[in-house]
Amino acid sequence: MRKRQSRVGLFIGVFIVIILIIVMIKSMFFSAEEQAQRVVDEFYTYEQEGNFTDSWELFHPFMKERWEKSTYINDRAHVFMGHFGAETFDYSIEYLDKVEKWRMAKDKKPFKEAYHFQVLQMYKGKYGKFNFEQDVYVVKNKDSWGILWDYQQ
């Protein structure tokens, strides 16, 4: 009987050590900054593909208040693909910094912390080559990350 109890204790101990190792590895390789950057990359990959439905889903609720889904989808397709004649674009993401007490607009409450990125979109359209540079902020909202743009004036 004693051997069986010590094996169970050993099994539980090994299990706890494995869980601790996984948590440590996850925290080392998946920092909040990296998670935020992955959301920005996912957002612009969707935009690049013309998949504005899925990119809209990555917005923070404040952005969803500002842009109704159907309006956003129509505007993005109309302006970038219709007016500019660009089928797609390339982009680069530069991490700038972690910002404390940042707010999207004057009438919105500040976020405890936000991750600030600069995204450069490079288009080739009927009017030649052109670039758009945009500041993008990512904040944690409950269990998910959300994209925000700066509307402070």
Length of the chain: 153
Strands (E), the chain: 89-102, 111-125, 128-141, 144-149
Q: Give 106-149 pLDDT, tens digit per residue.
A: 999 999 999 999 999 999 988 899 999 999 999 998 889 999 99
* Share of residues in the chain with pLDDT > 90 (%): 65
CATH assignment, 31-149: 3.10.450.100
Contacts of 46 (CB under 8 A, 6+ apart): 52, 54, 55, 58
Domain range summary for the chain, segments of one domain joined by + = 1-30, 31-149
Q: What is the pLDDT of residue 7?
A: 73
| pTM for this entry | 0.79
Contact 110, 101 (CB under 8 A): yes
Contact 39, 145 (CB under 8 A): yes
Structural tokens at position 46: 């969707």
